[in-house]
Amino acid sequence: MNKMPDILWLAEIKKEDIPSVGGKGASLGEMTAVGLPVPPAFVVTAQAFRRYLVGAGVEEKLYSRLEGLDVDDAELLEKTANDVMNIIMETEMPEALGREIIAAYKKMGNNEIVAVRSSATAEDLPDASFAGQQETYLNIKGDNDLLESIHKCWASLFGARAIYYRAKQGFDDRSVDIAVVVQILVFSEKAGVMFSSHPVTGETTTIIEGSWGLGEAVVSGTVSPDNYVFDQSTGRVVDRYIANKIVEILPDGEKGTKEVEVDKERQDIPVLNDNEIKKLAKFAKIAEEHYENPQDIEWGIVGEEIYILQSRPITTIKKGSDKEEAKMENEGKILLEGQGASPGIATGKVVIVSSIKDLGKVNEGDIMVAKMTNPDMVPAMRRASAIITDEGGMTCHAAIVSRELGTPATVGTKKATKVLAAGQTVTVDGEKGIVYEGAVAKASDAGQPAIQAAFAAAPIITATSIKVNVSLPEAAKRASATGADGVGLLRIEHLILGLGKTPNWFIRNDKEDEFVDELYTGIKTVMDEFNGKPVWVRTLDAPTDEFRNMKGGEDEPEEHNPMLGWRGIRRDLQSFDQFRLQVEAFKRLWDEGYDNLGIMFPLVGHPDEFLQAKDMMYDLGVDVDNKTLGIMVEIPSSAILIDDFIDAGIDFASFGTNDLIQYTLAIDRNNQNVADMYMPKHPAVLKIIKYAIDRCRRGGVECSICGQAGSDPDMVKWLVETGITSVSANIDAVQKIRETAARTEAKIILDASRK
Ligand code: PEP
Ligand code: MG
pLDDT (tens digit per residue) in 664-690: 999 999 888 888 899 999 999 999 999
- Tell me what pLDDT residue 452 has: 37
Is 290 tagged catalytic?
A: no
pLDDT above 70: residue 254: no
Q: With respect to residue 555, please indicate whether it lies within any of the assigned structural domains.
A: yes
Same domain? For 303 and 348 the reply is: no
Rounded to whole angstroms, the Cα distance separating 431 from 419 reads: 21
- What is the C-alpha R_g of the chain? 29
Boundary of a domain, candidates 184, 214, 231: 184
Q: Give residue-wise pLDDT tens across range 454-491.
A: 334 445 788 899 999 999 998 999 999 999 999 999 99
Inter-axis angle of helices 95-108 and 143-156, nearest 10? 120
- Nearest CA to 631 out of 711, 527, 718, 701 is that of 701
State if pTM tops 0.85: no
Cβ 631 vs Cβ 646: under 8 Å: no
Higher pLDDT, residue 171 or 572: 572
Higher pLDDT, residue 171 or 575: 575
pLDDT above 80: residue 325: no
pLDDT above 80: residue 615: yes
Boundary of a domain, candidates 184, 211, 229: 184
Q: Which helix (H) or strand (E) holds 465?
A: strand 465-470
Distance 440 CA to ligand 1 centre (A): 35
Same domain? For 502 and 592 the reply is: yes
- DSSP of 321-335: GG-SPP-BSS---EE
179-197 core/surface letters (b: 16 or more CB in 10 A; e: else): bbbbbbbbebbbbbbbbbb
Dihedral pair phi/psi, residue 523, rounded to 5°: -65, -40
Same domain? For 121 and 18 the reply is: yes
Same domain? For 447 and 352 the reply is: yes
- DSSP of 554-620: GGSPP-S-GGGSS-HHHHHHH-HHHHHHHHHHHHHHHHTT-TTEEEEESS--SHHHHHHHHHHHHHT
Q: Give residue-wise pLDDT tens across range 368-379.
A: 999 988 777 888
- Tell me what pLDDT residue 56 has: 93
Over range 291-320, report the average pLDDT.
Answer: 80
Q: With respect to residue 672, please indicate whether it lies within any of the assigned structural domains.
A: no
Q: Give residue-wise pLDDT tens across range 502-546.
A: 999 999 999 999 999 999 999 999 999 999 999 999 999 988 888
Q: Active site residue: 153, 397, 696, 703, which one?
A: 397
pLDDT above 80: residue 223: no
Domain containing 171 — which CATH number?
Answer: 3.30.1490.20
Binned at pLDDT 50, 70 and 90, residue 221 comes out as: low
Q: Give residue-wise pLDDT tens across range 9-43.
A: 999 998 788 889 988 888 889 899 998 999 999 99
632, 667, 705, 711, best to mutate for ligand 1 pocket (most atoms within 8 Å of CB): 632
Rounded to whole angstroms, the Cα distance separating 462 from 739 reads: 9
Q: Residues 653, 655, 661, 666: is their CA dihedral positive or negative?
A: negative
Same domain? For 179 and 203 the reply is: no
Same domain? For 358 and 305 the reply is: no
User: Residue 658 pairs with which residues in a beta bridge?
Assistant: none
Mean pLDDT estimate for the chain:
88
Same domain? For 502 and 413 the reply is: no
The CB density around residue 558, as the number of other CB atoms within 10 Å, is 9
* Sequence-distant (≥ 6) Cβ neighbours of residue 702 within 8 angstroms: 630, 651, 652, 653, 696, 725, 726
Ligand 1 within 6 A of CB of 490 = no
Q: Report the DSSP pairing between strands 386-389 and 409-411.
A: parallel
Amino acid residing at 156? S
pLDDT above 80: residue 661: yes
Distance 503 CA to ligand 2 centre (A): 19
Ligand 1 within 6 A of CB of 634 = yes
pLDDT > 90: what percent of the chain? 60
- Nearest CA to 280 out of 301, 302, 255, 262 is that of 301
Cβ 630 vs Cβ 650: under 8 Å: yes
Q: With respect to residue 535, please indicate whether it lies within any of the assigned structural domains.
A: yes
Q: Give residue-wise pLDDT tens across range 88-108.
A: 999 999 999 999 999 999 999
Binned at pLDDT 50, 70 and 90, residue 152 comes out as: very high
Domain containing 588 — which CATH number?
Answer: 3.20.20.60
Domain containing 241 — which CATH number?
Answer: 3.30.470.20
From the alpha carbon of 491, which atom of ligand 1 is closest? 9
- Tell me what pLDDT residue 523 has: 97
- Tell me what pLDDT residue 324 has: 41
Ligand 1 within 6 A of CB of 493 = no
- Tell me what pLDDT residue 10 has: 95
Is 703 tagged catalytic?
A: no
Over range 540-562, report the average pLDDT.
Answer: 89
3-state secondary structure of 251: strand
Q: With respect to residue 652, please indicate whether it lies within any of the assigned structural domains.
A: no
In terms of Cβ atoms closer than 10 Å to its own Cβ (0-12, 13-18, 19+), residue 565 is middle
Same domain? For 530 and 568 the reply is: yes
Ligand 1 within 6 A of CB of 17 = no
pLDDT > 70: what percent of the chain? 92
What is the residue range of 413's domain? 323-453
Rounded to whole angstroms, the Cα distance separating 471 from 540 reads: 12
pLDDT above 50: residue 320: no
- Tell me what pLDDT residue 17 has: 87
Distance 680 CA to ligand 2 centre (A): 14
400, 706, 719, best to mutate for ligand 1 pocket (most atoms within 8 Å of CB): 706
**What's the chain's length in residues?**
755
In terms of Cβ atoms closer than 10 Å to its own Cβ (0-12, 13-18, 19+), residue 607 is buried
pLDDT above 50: residue 444: no
HEC assignment per residue over 353-395: ECCHHHHHHCCCCCEEEECCCCHHHHHHHHHCCEEEECCCCCC
The CB density around residue 331, as the number of other CB atoms within 10 Å, is 9
Rounded to whole angstroms, the Cα distance separating 658 from 394 reads: 9
Binned at pLDDT 50, 70 and 90, residue 123 comes out as: very low
3-state secondary structure of 633: strand
Cα 467 to chain center, whole Å?
24
Same domain? For 106 and 75 the reply is: yes
- Nearest CA to 431 out of 405, 394, 382 is that of 394
- Tell me what pLDDT residue 355 has: 82
Same domain? For 528 and 506 the reply is: yes
Cα 88 to chain center, whole Å?
42
Distance 655 CA to ligand 1 centre (A): 9
- Tell me what pLDDT residue 2 has: 60
Q: Residues 196, 201, 205, 206: is their CA dihedral positive or negative?
A: negative
Ligand 1 within 6 A of CB of 659 = yes
Cα 111 to chain center, whole Å?
41
Q: With respect to residue 361, please indicate whether it lies within any of the assigned structural domains.
A: yes
Same domain? For 625 and 712 the reply is: yes
Boundary of a domain, candidates 453, 473, 508: 453
Same domain? For 551 and 579 the reply is: yes
For the chain, what is the domain count? 4
Rounded to whole angstroms, the Cα distance separating 746 from 658 reads: 29
- Tell me what pLDDT residue 356 has: 75
Q: Atom 7 in ligand 1: which residue has the minimum CA distance?
A: 658
Ranked by mean pLDDT, the top range of 210-219, 264-273, 632-641 is 632-641
Domain containing 352 — which CATH number?
Answer: 3.50.30.10
Over range 726-745, report the average pLDDT.
Answer: 93
Q: With respect to residue 376, please indicate whether it lies within any of the assigned structural domains.
A: yes
Q: Active site residue: 153, 396, 696, 706, which one?
A: 706
pLDDT above 90: residue 51: yes
- Tell me what pLDDT residue 160 has: 86
Q: With respect to residue 165, please indicate whether it lies within any of the assigned structural domains.
A: yes
- Tell me what pLDDT residue 373 has: 85
Over range 635-646, report the average pLDDT.
Answer: 98
Cα torsion for 314, 319, 322, 327, to the nearest 10°?
50
Q: Give residue-wise pLDDT tens across range 396-410.
A: 888 888 888 889 999
Q: With respect to residue 300, please indicate whether it lies within any of the assigned structural domains.
A: yes
In terms of Cβ atoms closer than 10 Å to its own Cβ (0-12, 13-18, 19+), residue 16 is exposed
Ligand 1 within 6 A of CB of 309 = no
385-411 core/surface letters (b: 16 or more CB in 10 A; e: else): bbbbbbbbbbbbbbbbbbbbbbbbbbb
